[in-house]
Structure 1
Amino acid sequence: MNGPVVVGVDGSPSALAAVDAAARAAALRGAALRVVHAFLWPAMHAPPDASLLGPPATALHETVERIVADAVERARSRAAGLRVDHAVIAGEASTVLRAQSRTAQLLVVGDRGSQSLAELLLGSTAVHLSAHGHSPVMVVRGRPEATGPVLVAVDGSPQGRPAIAFAFSEAALRGTDLVALHVWSTWTDHREHALGRPVDLVELMGDVDRLRQEEERELAEALSAHRDRHPNVTVRPRLVRGRVRPALIEASAHAQLMVVGARGHGGFTGLLLGSVSQAALHHADCPVTVVRSDL
């Protein structure tokens, strides 16, 4: 897609960090950056995506203008020559940004903004957009200046392939290594199916080496096609036996970006994202990009 990188801003420190990451992402892609502020004017009943012309100058209107102007100036200071435009759109943040993602090649948001406690309890804008956005969604969180390789979670499923493709492209753009982390366990339904019988830990002890070899094969197969498309990317496959979520969170401490997949089906946000993606969004020590399987 040749669309812009879109970043949502609300004046919070998290949003300013998102502007920095979005400016870098746009510059690496040679794309324009669009700074978007979703604005709910008191007693305003404009439809979502309506342009905010606004009433005459008020303190609230001036605050909105300052938020956007500061974000635009910050973006331009981070990447010389970057094309930046902006929009202030009437509507709720997740609705506005989801609509903007239709024409974006990447949507960038902070992990927490100026939300009320009720909104946090219902689920953040970042989580909602990661589940329902029409483009990959980068949620900026963790270390202020994350360094290291790009980290991608590989589960061997067809739904995870778009995330792997995105991670290879991102590593190539950033000029860094790609760590492909595959976490396995003898307790999964997938392993039970492969053995053709119910899983019993004592019985499986003699099959651990066989299982590891199978997991190594699956990891190599998941990466092989992408290696050919990105021969300049150094890939570091990592096979870890254990629990997926703790292993990914630990690995994120050494990465500049984590890439995870999402199933792309289901009605509720939690079901759509899955526990691994949600754990990454809430606990990773670096920015996280969620790539849905149906984009």
Structure 2
Amino acid sequence: MSSPILVAVTPGDHDRSALEVAIMMARLLPAPLLLGAVAVPAEIVPSSAMVGWVAEAVEPGWLGRSASQQLMQLAASLPDDVAVTTAVSIAHSISVGLEELAARSHASLIVVGPTHRTLGARVIDEDPTLGLVRHAPCAVLIVQGDDETPSPAAPPRRIVVAWDRSLEAHHALAYAADLAHKASATLEVIHVLEASPLPSLAPGISHGRLAERIASAEEEIRTALAAAEADAAEISVREGRLGPELARASAGADLLVVGSRRHGPVRRVVTGSASAYLAHHGRCPVLVTPRRVTSPAPA
């Protein structure tokens, strides 16, 4: 069986946004679904302070059994056309528990939500609790709350991918192109030329150079699209601040794909101020691809 899609479930939470998106992705790829819960013992909650299911102060074995029962009840209510299994991890934080579940199951994707402005913001920033996006062994899809996601979720019709000249951005582009092909979706590639903080002493020269940079970036993107064997795609090169520009682009998208790396602009999307901006102002689910992953359903 192919690698599963792990969806983070909070037992007792009635918001099904992440679950609906995970079901849609499971059908699209296709892939089995793994409902995963992380039980955080109450005595260590103050140190982890992360959003998730926190049971009463009882022994860890009971936590696991209780969560397992709730997951099995949820699994029984899901559509018959999606293969579903369940798993529980007892860990000191939600992110560590999800990493463990993903590694153990060889998951191809982790879907988290709907606590988009809390868990989503926590797991992608520079956090001492080992942020999920930075350490997950697979791609991570952050889903907004139920106000943003229909039930059931429809396949994406428009996918936007952030691109720069990094290897990780090329991998994200290949991932987005593959997903767009599977969904018969429109693909848009966005490259943001971050504006200089200093005013130009020669505006005419500055504008001319900007046009050259845009033309050069467009040509490089066309080459990258060809290398990724992508279907036809729209190309948008714009000047501005990375976070706000990507958030603006997400308003017209069903999915925003970004790459994860240790240095450079794309990293700032998932570990710096731009990530916080997207967590609060993004208008669609954000999918973060790890380094070296180029397909939504790796073999």
Shift of 1:278: 4.1
For 1:156 and 1:43, locate their aligned partners in 2 and report how far apart those are by CA, in whole Å. Answer: 46
Superimposed CA distance per residue, residues 236-255 of structure 1 (whole angstroms, 9 cap, x where no aligned partner): 11222322222211111111
Task: State whether residues 148 and 254 of structure 1, in contact with CA within 8 Å, keep that contact through their aligned partners in structure 2.
Answer: no
**1:242 corresponds to which residue?**
240
Residues 177 and 235 in structure 1, CA contact (< 8 A), matched pair in contact too: yes
Q: Given residue 39 of structure 1, which amino acid in structure 2 is its aligned partner?
A: A
Instruction: Give, in whole Å, the separation in 1 of the partners of 2:100 and 2:237.
Output: 38
Aligned counterpart for 2:211 among listed residues 209, 212, 216: 209
> Structure 2: how far apart are the matches of 1:139 and 1:89?
20
Identical aligned residues as a percent: 27
SS in 1 for 2:61: coil
Aligned partner letter, 1:88: V
What is the CA-CA distance between 1:215 and the residue it aligns to? Answer: 2.2
1:286 deviation in Å? 0.7
Q: Summarize the Cα distance change of 1:169–1:271 in structure 2 as closer, same or farther, 3 Å threshold.
A: closer
1:88 corresponds to which residue?
88
Q: In the TM superposition, what whole-angstrom CA distance separates every residue of 1:1-33 from its partner, at most 9, and x where no partner exists?
A: 93111111113345x211111111112222111
Contact 2:269 2:275 in 1 (8 A): no
Say if 1:264 and 1:293, in contact at 8 Å, map to a contact too.
Answer: no
TM-score by length of 1: 0.75
Report the Cα offset of residue 64 of structure 1: 3.3
- Please say if 1:3 is aligned against 2:8: no
Q: 1:178 to 1:206 in 2, by over 3 A?
A: closer
**Comparing 138-147 and 243-252, the one that deviates more:** 138-147
1:258 matched residue in structure 2? 256
Matching residue of 1:150: 159
Matches of 1:36 and 1:273 in 2, distance apart? 24
Deviation per residue, 1:112-150 (Å, 9 max, x gap) = 18x9xxxx5996246521122110000111621375401
Cross-structure match for 2:21: 21
1:289 is the counterpart of 2:291: no
Partner amino acid for 1:3? Answer: S
Deviation per CA, 1:24-83, whole angstroms, max 9, x where unpaired?
111222211110111134569xxxxxxx9834xxxx889635642453245x23xx4211
Which of 84, 108, 113 is the matching residue for 2:111? 108
Contact 2:124 2:271 in 1 (8 A): no
C-alpha distance in 2, partners of 1:221/1:188? 30
Q: How large is the Cα RMSD of the aligned pairs? A: 3.5
Give the match's secondary structure for 1:82. Answer: coil
Superposed CA offset, 1:240-286 (max 9, x none): 232222221111111111101111469xx979734434432332111
Q: Within 1, Cα distance between the matches of 2:120 and 2:252?
A: 31
Q: Distance in 1 between matches of 2:137 and 2:201?
A: 42
Q: Which has the larger radius of gyration?
A: 1
Cα distance in 2 between the residues matched to 1:9 and 1:136? 17
Q: Residues 26 and 188 of structure 1: is their aligned pair in 2 closer, same or farther, counting only changes over 3 Å?
A: farther
Report SS of the residue matched to 1:22: helix
> What is the TM-score normalised by the length of structure 2?
0.74
Q: What stretches of structure 1 move > 4 A for 4+ residues in a row?
A: 41-44, 60-63, 120-123, 269-272
Partner residue in 2 for 1:36: 36
- Residue type matched to 1:21 in 2? V
Letter in 2 for 1:259: V
Equivalent residue of 1:173, what SS?
A: helix
Gaps of 5+ in 1: 45-51, 190-198
Distance 1:287 1:70, change over 3 A: farther
